[in-house]
């Protein structure tokens, strides 16, 4: 591949939802932008592929052909206390997709808006050289005035730009399983969440077009114990393999990096910044949101790095960081205090789950629920000393 010699306004590294949305918004704003990914589309991405309504609401994009299932029904089970709650809505609580197809659609939208997309193009390092960033890639150098690190939880771009490792990472496992037709039918219409297995985490079943995504995530486990937890869960569900099964594992950042999120001419977005909801480990909507905020900051700051950085930090404080801080406290309550969790779900389980759906859908925020009078979230927050 021959790399373009021009100096772009912005180079975005990583074409997941954060990077693709950022590139699209920049191109729409008239900014010259190059988006690179180490893998060609449509590459496999380890993910449950569960899209909440908040994520869909942030994307003004038709997703025809990339949606696997629209689950109007979700179920929350507390395995350790044998409680079960059903949620039904007239619009999907969770929409499922395969990330290869979903991310490819987002990249196409960025290209349609005018972004230049290069793949496979692997970032190896970067340097700031007199008013621009030079990206070292396996294909040669690329120059841009700014760089957006959208290359996921293990972001090489962030490391190359001097950020330390994000220490708030937890392991997650996911299995794409083809099951017997009768088993598939049992799970085909419902997004299922099981709390209490693993002990300080949860497990899920998301139906795809013709198979199931089954996975688990845990705040306190190493990989080998998590593997045992996944087998226990699959047995608990009574699933019999019927064809292929592919297991994948990766990490999820459950807290933003502690340092600033823009430095010099580099901005961090999505998992690279550590933006996932620590309660649900849902990261796609935060990736989309932060990609859009970084684009807005770059357009607002234009050629002035100090202005761009302060615009980005301001936008994150206005739209994202306070909510993730509150979510972090709620996650501790949910996963680290099982007796309080059981008490709260025994008393108010159905209402708590319904309120969670409102947060999922973007109609409410954790912060708003903890503040607003007469709701069960607020009461639980009070008992746990969060308000
Ligand atoms: C097992 C598991 C299940 C999950 N399930 C869900 C779910 O159901 N719903 C949900 O909302 N979230 C889920 N998440 C979280 C979600 O996957 C992430 O939050 C989301 O993908 C973050 O998007 P991103 O764009 O920041 O990064 P990513 O989606 O990770 O994209 C990063 C991109 O950067 C590219 N890249 C990496 N390194 C380089 C490099 N050096 N040079 C060039 N390109 C590079 C990669 O190829 C990739 O395309 C799950 C995570 C895991 C691990």
Q: Is 152 in the pocket of ligand 1 (CB under 6 A)?
A: yes
Please give the number of the atom of ligand 1 that sits closest to the Cα of 157: 41
pLDDT of the residue at 386: 64
Tell whether the model's pLDDT for residue 378 goes beyond 80. no
Q: How far is the CA of 373 from the centre of ligand 1 (A)?
A: 37
Please give the number of the atom of ligand 1 that sits closest to the Cα of 248: 1
How confident is the model over 250-298, as pLDDT tens digits?
A: 999 999 998 899 999 999 999 999 999 999 999 999 999 999 999 999 9
Q: By three-state DSSP, how is residue 230 classified?
A: helix
244-270 exposure pattern, b = at least 16 Cβ within 10 A, e = fewer: ebeeeebbbbbbbbeeebbeebbbbbb
Which positions ≥6 away from 248 have C-beta within 8 Å? Answer: 44, 46, 173, 174, 175, 176
Domain residue ranges of the chain, discontinuous segments joined by +? 7-46+99-167+255-322, 69-95+170-251, 337-383
Contact present, 330 and 386 (Cβ < 8 Å): yes
Which positions ≥6 away from 135 have C-beta within 8 Å? Answer: 11, 13, 36, 123, 125, 126, 141, 142, 143, 144, 147
How confident is the model over 204-254, as pLDDT tens digits?
A: 999 999 999 999 999 886 788 999 999 999 999 999 777 889 999 999 999
Residue nearest to atom 10 of ligand 1 (CA): 282
Distance CA 292, CA 62 (A): 17
Q: Is 352 in the pocket of ligand 1 (CB under 6 A)?
A: no
How confident is the model over 23-72, as pLDDT tens digits?
A: 999 999 999 999 999 999 989 999 999 999 999 999 989 998 999 999 99
Distance CA 136, CA 38 (A): 12
Q: Is 174 in the pocket of ligand 1 (CB under 6 A)?
A: yes
Q: What's the CATH architecture for 69-95+170-251? A: 2-Layer Sandwich (3.30)
DSSP β-bridge partners for residue 33: 10
Q: How far is the CA of 258 from the centre of ligand 1 (A)?
A: 20
Q: Mutation test of ligand 1: which of 152, 275, 293 has the most ligand atoms closer than 8 Å to its C-beta?
A: 152
Contact present, 145 and 10 (Cβ < 8 Å): yes
Q: How far is the CA of 361 from the centre of ligand 1 (A)?
A: 21
Q: By three-state DSSP, how is residue 44 classified?
A: coil
β-pairing verdict for 123-129 and 169-179: unpaired
- Residue ranges of alpha helices (H) inside 98-222 are 99-113, 156-160, 181-187
Q: Is 291 in the pocket of ligand 1 (CB under 6 A)?
A: no
CATH superfamily name and code, 7-46+99-167+255-322 = FAD/NAD(P)-binding domain (3.50.50.60)
Q: Is 283 in the pocket of ligand 1 (CB under 6 A)?
A: yes
β-pairing verdict for 132-137 and 50-52: unpaired
pLDDT average, residue stretch 172-195: 96
Nearest to 11 by CA among 41, 42, 32: 32
pLDDT of the residue at 377: 66
Nearest to 356 by CA among 82, 75, 90, 81: 75
Phi/psi region, residue 128 (left: phi>0; alpha: psi -120 to 50; beta: rest), is beta
Please give the number of the atom of ligand 1 that sits closest to the Cα of 50: 8
DSSP classification of residue 114: T
């Amino acid at each position: 591949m021959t790399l373009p010699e021009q100096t772009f306004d912005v180079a975005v590294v990583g074409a997941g939802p954060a990077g693709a949305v950022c590139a699209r918004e920049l191109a729409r704003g008239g900014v010259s932008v190059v988006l690179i990914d180490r893998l060609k589309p449509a590459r496999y991405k380890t993910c449950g592929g569960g899209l909440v309504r908040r994520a869909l609401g942030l994307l003004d994009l038709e997703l025809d052909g990339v949606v696997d299932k629209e689950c109007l029904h979700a179920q929350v089970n507390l395995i350790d206390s044998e409680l079960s709650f059903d949620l039904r809505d007239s619009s999907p609580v969770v929409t499922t997709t395969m990330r290869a197809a979903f991310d490819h659609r987002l990249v196409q939208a960025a290209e349609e808006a005018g972004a230049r997309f290069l793949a496979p193009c692997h970032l190896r390092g970067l340097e700031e050289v007199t008013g621009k960033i030079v990206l070292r890639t396996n294909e040669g150098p690329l120059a841009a005035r700014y760089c957006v690190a959208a290359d996921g939880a293990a972001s090489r771009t962030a490391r190359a730009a001097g950020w330390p490792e994000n220490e708030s990472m937890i392991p997650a496992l996911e299995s794409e399983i083809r099951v017997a037709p009768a088993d598939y039918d049992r799970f085909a219409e419902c997004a299922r969440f099981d709390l209490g297995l693993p002990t300080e985490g949860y497990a899920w079943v998301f139906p795809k077009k013709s198979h199931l995504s089954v996975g688990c995530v845990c705040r306190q486990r190493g990989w080998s114990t998590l593997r045992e937890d996944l087998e226990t869960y699959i047995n608990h569900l009574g699933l019999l393999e019927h064809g292929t099964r592919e297991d994948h594992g990766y990490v999820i950042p459950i807290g933003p990096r502690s340092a600033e999120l823009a430095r010099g001419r580099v901005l961090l977005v999505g998992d690279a910044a550590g933006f996932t909801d620590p309660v649900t480990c849902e990261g796609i909507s935060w990736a989309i949101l932060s990609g859009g905020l970084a684009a807005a900051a770059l357009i607002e700051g234009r050629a002035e790095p100090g202005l761009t950085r302060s615009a980005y930090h301001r936008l994150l404080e206005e739209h994202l960081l306070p909510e993730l801080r509150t979510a972090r406290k709620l996650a501790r309550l949910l996963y680290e205090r099982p007796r309080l969790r059981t008490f709260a779900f025994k008393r108010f389980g159905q209402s708590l789950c319904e309120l969670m759906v409102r947060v999922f859908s973007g109609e409410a925020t954790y912060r708003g629920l903890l503040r607003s009078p007469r709701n069960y979230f607020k009461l639980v927050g009070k008992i746990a000393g969060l308000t």
